[in-house]
Amino acid sequence: MPSHSSSPRCDRLVLRHVTRVVKRLVVFALANLLVGVATLKPASAAILFEGWSKVLISGKHVGFIVQRYDFDEKKKEFRSTHFLKTNADSGGLTESLAARADSTFKPLAYQYTSVVNGKPTLIDATFKGDKMTAIVTEGKEKKTIKNTMPKGTFLSAFLGYVMLQGKEGLKKGVKYEYPGVLEESAIISKGEAFIAEEETISGIPVFRILNTINGSKFVSLATHKAEILGTVSPSIGVQTVLVPTMEEAVAGLTVNNQALIQLFGSMPKGKENEIARRNMLPAAKTAVQSAGGGAKSSSPAPAAGATAPVTPSTPSASVAAPATAPVPVPVPAPTATSTPASGN
């Protein structure tokens, strides 16, 4: 396992991979909630998913990411917003994204920012028809990137919708291939998501999903409501863990509430997800739910709100989740009997 403290540039590349891992995987929560969104008539925006995750490199807690997916009924727009921060030892990265898509998930616009060791990058992208124009500012340098999008291209933050609309839906053996805009680089890349397994972890039914995008490979565990319990990239020792509270995610890092309110429109509480909801249940009720689910894991589940051990340093690393037993995440290859399904 290579070291991830060799240089700020190494940390920056690793942590940008973290951002890709988290935002492409939490979108499964959005995907399943889309089914009922037509019946929602909120005064402003309906929050579909919101959660805080901690970020680990080689088992060390180095930062956090908070995400929200919502639907603006008045504008008929879906929005994806996230903010990521790491400590100084891991590159001192702060990063944010505010992305918008119409009700059919055609890209409208996004703004991406990152600051690494005081050096800022800003991407302001707009879309018209099949044309994408992105103005990229790095320090004092500015350039314009123009792309023609293949049919079916979408902002990668909204991958879940494509998977939900696939011919086979969400089930074991299905493979989705898609063209997506990578918001952090303003490029269009082919991606693949393969649903390798369906299993039960401490009473929670989950899909084990193998993901490849722009050369990055990672594994996610998604509940049947499509909420991501955790992700792991065994080759570089990067892991993300959805946790029930902001306090557990930030672990001593400074949180600028005003900056988050400005970005999100309100302070993200992180309660719109399965882990947070389970954490708010009485301990006895949570234990009954876990027992009733027929968990495959032989390890006893911790008490509600507890976090299982984190060991991401090998390909058999565990993705931890509050109120569950350790979750092994091997990286099997797609089988020859899988059923391909186009996500376009």
Q: What is the model's pLDDT at position 44?
A: 61
Q: Is the confidence at residue 18, as pLDDT, over 90?
A: no
Q: What is the model's pLDDT at position 162?
A: 64
**Contact present, 95 and 111 (Cβ < 8 Å):** no
Distant-in-sequence, close-in-space partners of 50: CB < 8 Å, separation ≥ 6:
66, 67, 68, 69, 268, 269, 270, 271, 272, 273
Average pLDDT, the chain: 74
Give which of 86, 91, 46, 79 is closest to 65, Cα–Cα: 86
Q: What is the model's pLDDT at position 306?
A: 37
- Round to whole Å and give the CA distance between 112 and 295: 40
Q: Is the confidence at residue 315, as pLDDT, over 50?
A: no
- Round to whole Å and give the CA distance between 268 and 265: 9
Q: Taking the CB of residue 253, how many other CB atoms lie within 10 A of it?
A: 15
**Contact present, 93 and 115 (Cβ < 8 Å):** yes
Query: Residue 135: enclosing H or E segment and its boundaries?
Result: strand 131-138
Of the listed ranges 145-154, 226-235, 290-299, 332-341, the least confidently predicted one is 332-341
- Round to whole Å and give the CA distance between 196 and 330: 11
Q: Is the confidence at residue 16, as pLDDT, over 90?
A: no
Domain boundaries, the chain: 8-340
Q: Is the confidence at residue 161, as pLDDT, over 70?
A: no
Give which of 7, 341, 316, 3 is closest to 174, Cα–Cα: 341
Rounded to the nearest angstrom, the gap between the alpha carbon of residue 187 and the centroid of all alpha carbons in its chain is: 19
Q: What are phi and psi of 9, to 5 degrees?
A: -65, -40
**Contact present, 18 and 4 (Cβ < 8 Å):** no
Average pLDDT over residues 34-43: 40
Average pLDDT over residues 112-133: 94
Q: What is the model's pLDDT at position 171?
A: 85
